[in-house]
Amino acid sequence: MNTMLEVNGLYKNFKELEVLRGVSLKIDEGEVVAVIGPSGSGKTTLLRCVTQLERATRGSIKICGEVLCEDSPDGSVYVDKQKRHELLLKMGLVFQSFNLFPHYNVLKNIIKAPMDVQGKSRQEAEEIARRLLEKMNLADKEGAYPYQLSGGQQQRVSIARAMALSPALLLFDEPTSALDPELTGEVLKVIRGLADEGMTMMVVTHEMAFAREVADRVIFMDDGVIVADDRPEAIFSGSGNERIEAFLSRF
Amino acid sequence: MESFMKLFMQLMGGMGNTLWLFAVTLVFSLPLGLLLALGRMSKNRILSGIIRIYNLIIRGTPLMLQLIVVYIAPFNIVGFTWDRMTAAIVAFILNYAAYFSEIFRSGIESIPRGQYEAAKVLGLSKWVTNKSIILPQVVKRILPPMSSEFMTLVKDTALASTLSIVEMFTVAQNNAMRNFDLTPLYIAGIFYFAFNAIVEQLFHLAERKLDYYR
């Protein structure tokens, strides 16, 4: 089994504030890992460190067995720019607030990176995009602009956009938190579909039912550390851990 | 009627300098303004501070004063004299670049951080991100304040008369004073208005063209 993501002893400080305080985890190929926990527990920062939107303070990160950064007493040491770019393309990130490009229509949003970054021809990129839109149930929306779509549709476009670079690992940062409850379902259904196809995914979420049903593993974070990393049944059936039970009791 | 036509032609003659000032100022002050905006937003505090002070001085003092300083100061300092029109153009460029830089800055800073982050995670280079993702959205957002600034520039060209440059307003003013008759000034007012009506219409068209997204 290939390890797609390996994080060891990850620390992230914002000035005085310690947001991550020694996080270690591994995600194997084909696994779906849900990350849950209270706000401010460091879930999003963890994703942002893995996707290079933040620089780790200490600790190491490996993606598909390749080093992104290694720990040293003077802080995390990153590989060179070229390598960082390569590793970035192995990952797709889906944002809470979609972050689609408003001046591009749906198709252009999806084909921009494959053409510009991977050097694909327009025809090839469009073929990939249309296949993904089909899968996202958005085949008829390729000419629409983001503002013409519902939140759920926008989020599905942004999943297609991330998938278009054929990432080895797909990361979600609370993909349904900005959506009305009735739109949450269609996005979760798409993510579930990707899970069934064997996509490796790490999903930061507040949807407990989703975490329970779709995830192979659930990671519970609190206050910058991983409190528990276990099978969903174990986490949700009363783990005996006070912090987890206090958190889950709110749902 | 004949004298009216003569007056009209005289004013049109002054219009040449007005148009020239307007066009040259824009060609140079827009790119300079963008550079100033980028410098103002840079992490280099010294650069950013210098540009902030520059913008403060330029926006905090009368353009009329700046025109005279730009014309005379080089002579006082290094004994260098230059053509009045060149001095006026330089003063207008320095002045308008400061105002444009603040408009650019407000536009650039209004783009959500998520746009940069999405582009970065997709592997787009900084150049492509700025050129294809950020700039088009900035242009759409700054069109309304830009149109105001362009219209102000049309009227500000009249200040070139400070350096005895014969632009349209000077022609009208001299005529009016000589004959104690307001007609030339009314016509000049209509000219400025017509000029600005065209500017406004062009911006309106540009806004409509970018209306396809929100």
pLDDT, tens digit (0-9, with 9 covering 90-100), for A79-89: 999 999 999 99
What band does A170 get if pLDDT is binned at 50, 70 and 90?
A: very high
> Cβ–Cβ of B112/A165 closer than 8 Å?
no
pLDDT at residue number B123: 96
CA neighbor of B117 nearest in space, from A70, A234, A47: A47
End-to-end CA distance of chain B: 52
Q: Could you give the CA distance from residue A77 to residue A58 in angstroms, rounded to a whole number?
A: 8
pLDDT at residue number B165: 87
Considering only alpha carbons, which residue of chain B is nearest residue A158?
B118
pTM: 0.91
pLDDT at residue number A246: 86
Profile chain B (214 residues) by mean pLDDT over runs of 10 residues.
Answer: 79 86 97 97 96 98 96 90 92 98 97 97 96 96 97 94 87 89 91 95 96 92
> Cβ–Cβ of B121/A100 closer than 8 Å?
no
pLDDT at residue number B166: 84
Q: Which of A81, A91, A99 to mutate to test the interface with B (most CBs of B within 10 A)?
A: A99
- Residues of chain B that touch chain A, judged by Cβ-Cβ distance less than 8 Å: 112, 114-115, 117-124, 128, 132-133, 136-137, 140, 212-214
pLDDT at residue number B109: 97
Which residues 6+ apart lie within 8 Å of B3 measured at CB?
none
What band does A239 get if pLDDT is binned at 50, 70 and 90?
A: low
Q: Are A48 and A174 in contact (CB under 8 A)?
A: no
> Cβ–Cβ of B117/A99 closer than 8 Å?
yes
Q: Could you give the CA distance from residue A11 to residue B91 in angstroms, rounded to a whole number?
A: 53
Give the mean pLDDT of chain A: 95
Chain B environment of A97 (Cβ under 8 Å): 112, 114
Model-level ipTM above the cut of 0.90: yes
Q: Which of B111, B122, B128, B207 to mutate to test the interface with A (most CBs of A within 10 A)?
A: B122
The residue behind tokens 């390598």 is A83
> Cβ–Cβ of B123/A92 closer than 8 Å?
no
Which residues 6+ apart lie within 8 Å of A9 measured at CB?
A22, A23, A24, A58, A59, A60, A71
Residue B80, burial from CB neighbour count under 10 angstroms (0-12, 13-18, 19+): exposed
Q: Could you give the CA distance from residue B53 to residue B60 in angstroms, rounded to a whole number?
A: 10
pLDDT at residue number B1: 62
Closest approach of B20 to chain A, Cα-based (Å): 35
The total number of residues shown for chain A amounts to 251
Q: List, in sequence order, every residue forming a beta bridge with A171; answer none if it has no partner.
A: A93, A202
CA neighbor of A157 nearest in space, from A173, A133, A130, A122: A133
pLDDT at residue number B80: 85
Nearest to B136 among A89, A103, A112 (CB): A103
Average pLDDT on A152-157 reads 97
In this predicted model, what pLDDT tens digit does every residue of A52-84 receive, in sequence order? Answer: 999 999 999 999 999 999 999 999 999 999 999
Average pLDDT on A35-49 reads 95
Chain B environment of A202 (Cβ under 8 Å): none
| One-letter amino acid of A4 | M
Give the number of other Cβ atoms within 10 Å of residue A49's Cβ.
26
| One-letter amino acid of B40 | R
* Interface contact A169, partner B, CB < 8 A: no
Secondary structure of residue A238 in the 3-state scheme? coil
